[in-house]
Amino acid sequence: MLAWSRKREDVVGLKAPKKEKRVKKENRTQPPVEAPYVAPKPKLAVKSIPDKTVEIFDGMTLLELSKRTGAYISALQDILADLGEKVESEFDSISIDLAELIAMELGVNTRRMHTGVGTMEPRPAVVTVMGHVDHGKTSLLDALRQTSVAAKEAGGITQHIGAFVVEMPSGASITFLDTPGHAAFSAMRARGAAVTDIVVLVVAADDGVMPQTLEAMSHAKAANVPIVVAINKCDKSGADPERVRIQLGSEGLLLEDMGGDVQVIEISAVAKSGLDKLEEALFLQAEMMDLKARTDGPAQAFVVEARVDRGRGPLATAIVKSGTLVSGQHIVVGAEWGRIRSLRDTSGKITESAKPAMPIEIEGLRGLPMAGDDIVVVDSEERARMLSQGRKKKQEKDRLRKIDENMEDDIDTPEGTPERVEMPIIVKADVQGSVQAVTDALRSLNSAQVFVNVVHVGVGPISQHDIDLAQACGAYIVGFNIRSPPIAITQAATRANLKILQHKIIYHLLEEMGRLIVEKAPGTAETQISGEAEVLNIFELKGRSKSKGPDIKIAGCRITDGHFSKSGTMRLLRSGETVFEGPCASLKREKQDAETVDKGNDCGLVIQDCDDFQVGDVVQCLEQVIRKPKFISTQSGSVRIEC
Ligand code: GDP
């Protein structure tokens, strides 16, 4: 299992020059403590896999890494040699990048601990807007964006890069994340990217607390992020902000007017009223949190949005957590890498560097990263390439291990459980954040009967390539928040008998997908009592010769409940005890053969090989039914398939 026990060439995989380098000695014994980075872990679909995560930091000794990973020093040295590096002694220190490369080869996850040394300076707060669908999140973000620095500087024209900055009269600023709602927020949190400092919870004054309001509250609570409530649509005649306050209070939110510390602001995103008060409230909340970050030294940042631009290639909007990101630096972003060709601020202006909480668009990446990916600065192109390759290889290993586990699970399934069918899906969405949120949400519909297999994801419209791929593997195509495909594509899909699901709201997509999953599920065979009858008379067909078969006893019955079917199995009960069970040999109603007889009717019944009827016996008709799974949606807005 351990990588170092394998052949060299398998271990390496990270094409490195074979030259040997001496590693600089650095004496640091304690790990620094700031903004830990949790390497993206694959979500576990069915059962937990033995994941090990170790903390790594710049300048740690080989001995330290050996202790944390549980691997022999000699094994670490072997991996280092394969990477073209050499360390003489176990007390020699290594860079954080080398530590990660070694750990990845060992199949161990890493959490990067970055240096806390440097000047700590106040930084702006990063805010995410959440709330129930149609409560006005987009309208609020649009209204706030119009007050943003970019809008003012560019005369109202802003480019949509997934974040914007609003400046207060005092000169302080607030950064708003403009990414797709709470699904992206939770997806990012799952990937360890804790970029949000404050959540604005939008609740419509005319609608009140709804399932996704509660879901947003629990997300914020789980991430330990404070909430500022914006009661929206206060301009409407049916607005009742007081009712919203009471509802929120009864859901456990400690509002300021009720003696708690959660601020509540009444606004109208459409009439643009109360926005300055909301900004002030956010600023006050940020002040209370005394947000600070290291501003000098190499940056640590997170991707909040990523897309491909035809002319400029992959673009990632990032928020710096600490340090300063500088144009020209080599960076590793999740499993991708690149050299920063340009950094642009929210007004689209080229900037040389970016400081904490400042959203910037990065150009120069080789591939498209994912929302929530971490960004680390490395010394050279070679190091960037190696880390990216190492991370890709580790992701692939984890993916294969997960598939193996799923297969093991299938083997473990008890007898009688139907075979699990696969539902391949291709996801296309407007931006990377949506791709991820939709993929995660679809995977939550995985069940013991249907394996939701997202086979391909991408940003942009549905293309001929997607149709070809879907045809090859019988996949459904999901388009989220994207334009309807051109007629040629729709026609190609129809010809190939492919289903395209276009949605703008995740919940609606999940509802439709849930229905399809239920349809596709094989279901479980269950025996059900379809009817009950009482034996009123017994008739005997006697005098039959041996050649014509034995004598037959016919039970004259009345159906007292449900219905009887000729295809059913009959169970004979006497004083509550089963005395015989067998298939129906004959079912007649008024001397005519019948397929079914309903409640209230009399019938003549023959049970194969049964001649033991007595008046007063009870007969039950048993039928095999296929029970399909159920699509369950809970009050909190979460969904699942119950088998
Ligand atoms: P989201 O789904 O939460 O992003 O909601 P939207 O921003 O798309 O808003 C949903 C609907 O509510 C739209 O028709 C908006 O015009 C309307 N809306 C949003 N804010 C307000 C408001 O403050 N007042 C009124 N009257 N309508 C609003």
pLDDT of residue 596: 94
251: CA distance to ligand 1 center in Å? 24
C-alpha 240 – ligand 1 centre gap (Å) = 16
* 478 Cα: distance to centroid of ligand 1 (angstroms): 26
Minimum mean pLDDT range among 160-174, 452-466, 539-553 = 539-553
Residue located nearest, by CA, to atom 2 of ligand 1: 134
Q: For all residues of the chain together, what is the average pLDDT?
A: 82
CATH of domain 295-390: 2.40.30.10
- Residue 311: the pLDDT is 83
Q: Which residues contact 96 (CB under 8 A, 6 or more apart)?
A: 56, 57, 58, 59, 60, 112
Residue found by looking up tokens 């879907």 in the block: 470
What distance in angstroms lies between residue 428's CA and the mean position of ligand 1's atoms?
Answer: 26
**Which pLDDT score is estimated for 447?**
86
Ligand 1: distance of its center to the CA of 232 in Å?
A: 8
Domain boundaries, the chain: 54-113, 121-293, 295-390, 421-523+633-640, 524-627
Least confident of 14-23, 523-532, 580-589: 14-23
CA distance 522 to 511: 19
| Residue 139 Cα: closest atom of ligand 1 | 7
Angle between helices 464-473 and 487-495 (to 10 degrees): 10
Say whether pLDDT at 151 is over 80: no
Tell me which residue has its CA closest to atom 10 in ligand 1. 134
**Element housing 607 (H / E):** strand 602-607
pLDDT value at residue 580: 92
pLDDT digits (tens, 9 = 90+) for 309-343: 878 888 999 999 889 999 999 999 988 999 999 99
Atom of ligand 1 nearest to the CA of 135: 3
CB distance 320 to 301 below 8 Å: yes
537 alpha carbon – ligand 1 mean position (Å) = 72
139 alpha carbon to ligand 1 midpoint, in Å? 6
CATH number of 421-523+633-640: 3.40.50.10050
Instruction: Tell me which of 26-30, 272-276, 617-621 is least confident.
Output: 26-30
Three-state DSSP state, 222: helix
Distance 475 CA to ligand 1 centre (A): 35
Q: Distance from the CA of 239 to the center of ligand 1, in angstroms?
A: 13
Most ligand 1 atoms within 8 A of CB, residue of 130, 133, 134, 185 to mutate? 134
Q: Say how many C-beta atoms besides its own lie within 10 A of residue 616's C-beta.
A: 10
Each residue's pLDDT tens digit, 409-438: 554 555 555 578 889 999 999 887 788 888
State the amino acid at position 173 in one-letter form: S
Ligand 1 pocket test: pick from 139, 207, 232 the residue with the most ligand atoms within 8 Å of its Cβ: 139
Nearest CA to ligand 1 atom 18: 136
Is residue 637 within 8 A of residue 211, CB to CB? The reply is yes
For 368-392, the pLDDT digits (tens) are 888 778 899 998 999 899 899 988 8
Ligand 1 centroid – CA 359 distance (Å):
26
Dihedrals φ, ψ of 546, to 5°? -60, -40
Classified as helix, coil or strand, 503 is strand
What is the residue with the minimal CA distance to atom 22 of ligand 1? 233
Give tens-digit pLDDT for 32-51. Answer: 433 333 333 333 333 333 46
First to last CA, the chain: 35
Cα–Cα dist 79/102, whole Å? 6
Q: Which class for 122: exposed (0-12), middle (13-18), buried (19 or more C-beta within 10 A)?
A: middle
Give me ligand 1 centre to Cα 327, in Å. Answer: 39
Token match 């419209």: residue? 461
SS3 content of the chain, % helix, strand, coil (to 5): 30, 35, 35
For the ranges 26-35, 200-209, 344-353, which has the lowest average pLDDT?
Answer: 26-35
- CATH class of the domain comprising 121-293: alpha beta
- Among 201, 237, 270, which residue has the most ligand 1 atoms within 8 Å of its CB, making it the best to mutate? 270
Which pair of tokens denotes residue 33? 């403590």
Mean pLDDT of 487-504: 91
CA–centroid distance, residue 273 to ligand 1 (Å):
14
What residue's CA is closest to ligand 1, atom 11? 134
Strands 630-633, 639-642: parallel, antiparallel or unpaired by DSSP? Answer: antiparallel
CB-based pocket (< 6 A), ligand 1: 131, 133-139, 232-233, 235-236, 268-270
| pTM for the model | 0.60
Do residues 445 and 640 make contact, with C-beta atoms less than 8 angstroms apart? yes
The C-alpha atoms of residue 369 and residue 430 are separated, in whole angstroms, by 14
Who's near 135: CB < 8 A, 6+ residues apart?
202, 203, 204, 207, 210, 213, 232, 233
Residue 56 has pLDDT above 70, yes or no: yes
Q: Which CATH class is domain 524-627?
A: mainly beta
Ligand 1 nearest-atom number relative to CA 271:
23
In what side-by-side order are the strands of the sheet with 500-503?
450-459, 421-429, 476-480, 500-503
pLDDT band for 29, please (50, 70, 90 cuts). Answer: very low
| Residues facing residue 344 across a β-bridge | 350, 361
- Specify the residue with its C-alpha closest to ligand 1, atom 25: 233
Q: How far apart are CA 458 and CA 368, in angstroms?
A: 10
Atom of ligand 1 nearest to the CA of 267: 23
Residue 602: pLDDT over 80: yes
Beta partners for 477? 426, 500
Q: What would the two tokens of residue 54 be?
A: 């170790």
Are 449 and 522 in contact, with CB atoms under 8 Å apart? yes
The residue nearest atom 17 of ligand 1, judged by CA position, is 136
pLDDT digits (tens, 9 = 90+) for 81-115: 888 887 878 888 888 888 998 988 888 888 888 76
User: Do 121-293 and 421-523+633-640 have matching folds?
Assistant: yes
- pLDDT value of residue 18: 40
Closest atom of ligand 1 relative to the 236 alpha carbon: 26
Q: At residue 637, what is the residue type?
A: G
* pLDDT tens digit sequence for 609-621: 888 899 999 999 9
Q: How far is the CA of 134 from the centre of ligand 1 (A)?
A: 6
Q: What is the rounded CA–CA span in Å between residue 228 and residue 251?
A: 15
Task: Work out which ligand 1 atom sits closest to the CA atom of 202.
Answer: 3
Residue linked to tokens 């094989």:
522
Query: What is the whole-number distance in angstroms between the Cα of residue 135 and the centre of ligand 1?
Result: 6
pLDDT, tens digit (0-9, with 9 covering 90-100), for 168-187:
877 889 999 876 555 555 55
Residue 108 C-beta-side C-alpha neighbours within 13 Å: 24
On whether the CB atoms of residues 359 and 317 are closer than 8 A, the answer is yes
Distance CA 62, CA 81 (A): 13
- pLDDT at residue 518 above 90? yes
Q: Please tell me the predicted confidence (pLDDT) of residue 28.
A: 42
Ligand 1 atom with the smallest distance to the CA of 505 is 2
Q: Is 150 helix (H, G, I), strand (E, B) or coil?
A: helix
- The confidence band for 574, taking pLDDT boundaries of 50, 70 and 90, is very high
